[in-house]
Structures are given as structure tokens and as C-alpha cells.
Chains A and B, each alone.
Chain A
Amino acid sequence: MIVDERIKDVRNRAAAGGFGIMYIFLLFDLLLRQFYFKQQPDSYWDIMMIWFAASLYVGIKMYSSGMMSGRVGQQFKVMIPVIFITIIATFYFMGEISSVHDVIGLIVGIVPTLLILFLFYNYLNRRWEKKNEMDE
């Protein structure tokens, strides 16, 4: 059976659409479990891991294919405050934050994670730029 570029293209678009739907609904499911059903994270950690793995995969693909070339720093400048606010707000609404110490604890936990993510994505982007001779 011949699989030509048009069929591949349609197949890829269908798969991407399906992935998008699953990604959004998994996130919706996680939020629902967390905030509406008040479930403990250890009862849905597997779904959370799938969602994080998918997010990481999308990030790796985007950064290693040069989609973010020249915009990595700019991207993280926007991402870092958004992630900070989201995580702190989430924990606050869950009733996990009662003092400044808790906030500091969260920041200490978030900063290394974001730093590792930034360095990793930056490395992928640099590698792509070097490979394609776009180093300045």
C-alpha cells in the first residue's frame, strides 16, 4: 500500500488533533479531581505523569526542532511568573499555604525545577542552532 505525503499529512494532522483533545481533557480531568472531587494526588498520579510526560515531549520536540530559536529566554521570562503564580495559587486554594514559610518552601522547590527545564531546553535549542549554523 502506498502511503504518500498527502496521506501522511492527513494522518499527522488527525493524530495531532487527537493528541490535542486528549491533552486538554486530561488537564481538565486533573483539575476536576483536584479541585472538585478533592481527591488526593496519590490517587491520580499516573494520569498526572502521563500529562507531564506529554508536555515534556512537546517541549523537547519544539525546542530541538528550532521552533523557539532566538526566543528561549523570552519564552521563559513569560513562563516563569505564570508557573510561579499558578503553582502558588493552586496550593493556596488547596489550603496548603498558611504562612510565608510555605511560600518560600514552594519557591525553593520550583526554582531548581524551572532552572533544569530552562537549561535542558536551552541546550536543545543551542544544539539545533549549531547544527544548522545559526550560532551568532
Chain B
Amino acid sequence: MKNSINMKMKLARVEKNLSQQQLADLVSATRQTIGLIEKRNYNPSLNLCIKIAKALDKTLDQIFWEESHDSR
């Protein structure tokens, strides 16, 4: 069954002890946008993906890549 939450991103954020608001501030986005990305209700641009990956000290693969990618 497909996970409807981007757990990789959420886990990476929790590992870094960051709240959604703190991550949002780091990447110049709003808390709502971060929440929507984690819930997979918003497809961020590549620029924002890179900013998030850098803020969480991960690579794009580690946060956004999925083996059975469902593009919605």
C-alpha cells in the first residue's frame, strides 16, 4: 500500500530536531507548504527540493526518491 506521507522527509526533519516552521524558515517557505509536501499534497519545484535537502543535510535521493514513484 502506498504511504501517503513523505516519511523520509518527515524523519529527516525530526532527526535534525526541526519543526515544520523552522524548516520552512530555513528554506524561505511557509509552514503550510512544508506540511503539504510532507503530506504529498504539493509537488515542490526542484529548487525548493534542493533547499530542503540541503537544510536537512541529505541528498535529493534520500528524501524524494521512491522506487515505485507515484506521480500525482
A residues with a Cβ closer than 8 A to B are 2, 4-7
Q: How far is the CA of A7 from the CA of B36 in the complex (A)?
A: 12
Binary per-residue interface labels of chain B (28-72) against chain A in the complex, 1 for a CB within 8 Å, 0 otherwise? 111011001000001011011000000000000000000000000
Q: Which residue of B lies closest to A1 (CB)?
A: B30
Q: How far is the CA of A2 from the CA of B33 in the complex (A)?
A: 11
B residues with a Cβ closer than 8 A to A are 24, 28-30, 32-33, 36, 42, 44-45, 47-48
CB-CB under 8 A from B24, the residues of chain A are 2, 4
Q: Are A2 and B28 in contact (CB under 8 A)?
A: yes
Q: Which residue of A lies closest to B32 (CB)?
A: A6
Q: Is the interface of A mostly helix, strand, loop or mixed?
A: helix
CB-CB under 8 A from A5, the residues of chain B are 29, 33, 44-45, 47-48
CB-CB under 8 A from A2, the residues of chain B are 24, 28-30
Known: A5-B44, A6-B33, A6-B44; 5 extra A-B contacts, CB below 8 A, are A2-B24, A2-B30, A4-B33, A6-B29, A7-B33
Q: How far is the CA of A110 from the CA of B53 in the complex (A)?
A: 56
CB-CB under 8 A from A4, the residues of chain B are 24, 28-30, 33, 48
CB-CB under 8 A from B29, the residues of chain A are 2, 4-6
Q: How far is the CA of A124 from the CA of B24 in the complex (A)?
A: 39
Q: Which residue of A lies closest to B33 (CB)?
A: A6
Q: Which residue of B lies closest to A4 (CB)?
A: B29
- A-B pairs, top 4 by smallest CB distance, nearest first, are A4-B29, A6-B33, A4-B33, A4-B30
